[in-house]
Amino acid sequence: MSKTVLILLGAPGAGKGTQAARLAQALGLPHISTGDLFRANLAGGTSLGDRARSFMDQGELVPDELVLEMLFDRVAQEDCQSGYLLDGFPRTIAQAEALEARLEGLVPMVIDIQVPDSDIEQRIVGRRMCKECGAIFHLTFNAPAQEGVCNACSGALYQRKDDTAEVVRTRLEEYHQKTAPLIAFYSERGGVSAVDGRQQPDLVFEACVASIQGSGHGSSHGVNS
């Protein structure tokens, strides 16, 4: 079976995590979120978490060498052998180049979930996450059935410390300056599928699946949408 590496690009709050969870399940690939990996390190009090904390709290990107070490450890694990889905990585050209060197000729499939900046603050400030299972909700756009309680596992919902109107401004600046150039980087390689992220989550999902199938990647894994 050929190996599939799927990259989801998009601004903070564009819907990468929401779609990644569904796509990972449909494709049978592990969902690797560098944001989630960092938050697990913060919660676990590791030295990596300590080194990443101030950058994350301020909405700045964590330095490439910390990200790369953590990510490459993760994708070296057994469950990533036939491929993986990357959410929130790469975020800089240096990260993309390091991944490219590691993939040794394998060209990743890249989807760019597009949402205008004017929609981002509301997405971010209204986001609530489950402490137990990581499920993603929104106070208005995807409200849990019972306030503060996860629909999937009944875990408690919380608001990320960096999900404030103030920090989101820095995160958006970082995105435009350092991450948006990856669209041109991948356009010059295997290409980038643009998906309109303003649609309902179900329609965004369908558009992602269609672009995966159109690329030929879906067939080797069988997309179960």
Which residues contact ligand ADP (rule: CB under 6 A)? 10, 12-18, 34-35, 38, 55-56, 59-62, 67, 88-89, 91, 95, 123, 126-127, 136-138, 141-142, 171, 197, 200-201, 204
In whole angstroms, give the CA distance from residue 102 to residue 87: 17
Query: Which one, of 181, 187, 205, 196, lies nearest residue 90 by Cα?
Result: 181
Give me 129's structure tokens.
């996450």
Question: From the list ligand ADP, Zn ion, none, which binds 56 (C-beta under 5 to 8 Å, kind-based)?
Answer: ligand ADP
Whether the Cβ atoms of residue 127 and residue 137 lie closer than 8 Å to each other: yes
Whether the Cβ atoms of residue 207 and residue 95 lie closer than 8 Å to each other: no
The vertex-121 CA angle with 202 and 31, nearest 5°, equals 45
Whether the Cβ atoms of residue 156 and residue 130 lie closer than 8 Å to each other: yes
| 16 included as an active-site residue | yes
Least distance to ligand ADP, CB of residue 17, Å: 3
Q: Is 141 exposed, middle or buried (0-12, 13-18, 19+ CB in 10 A)?
A: middle
Q: What is the DSSP letter of 179?
A: I
User: Taking contact as CB under 5 A, which single stretch among the options 16-24, 112-120, 143-151, 183-191 is the one that binds Zn ion?
Assistant: 143-151
Strand 136-138 and strand 127-130: pairing? Answer: antiparallel
| 123 included as an active-site residue | no
Q: Of 51, 53, 160, 169, which residue is the catalytic one?
A: 160
Question: From the list Zn ion, ligand ADP, none, which binds 137 (C-beta under 5 to 8 Å, kind-based)?
Answer: ligand ADP
C-alpha atoms less than 13 angstroms from C-alpha of 81 in its C-beta half-sphere: 3
Strand 83-87 and strand 192-196: pairing? Answer: unpaired
User: Taking contact as CB under 5 A, which single stretch among the options 61-69, 93-101, 132-140, 188-196 is the one that binds Zn ion?
Assistant: 132-140
Question: From the list Zn ion, ligand ADP, none, which binds 135 (C-beta under 5 to 8 Å, kind-based)?
Answer: Zn ion
Least distance to ligand ADP, CB of residue 213, Å: 20
CA 133 to centroid of chain Cα atoms = 16
Least distance to Zn ion, CB of residue 152, Å: 4
C-alpha atoms less than 13 angstroms from C-alpha of 201 in its C-beta half-sphere: 17
Least distance to ligand ADP, CB of residue 44, Å: 15
User: Taking contact as CB under 5 A, which single stretch among the options 61-69, 111-119, 129-137, 211-219 is the one that binds Zn ion?
Assistant: 129-137
| 127 included as an active-site residue | yes
Least distance to ligand ADP, CB of residue 149, Å: 15
User: Taking contact as CB under 5 A, which single stretch among the options 87-95, 133-141, 160-168, 196-204 is the one that binds Zn ion?
Assistant: 133-141
Residues with active-site annotation = 16, 91, 127, 160, 171
The footprint of Zn ion (CB under 5 A) covers 130, 132-133, 135, 150, 152-153, 155
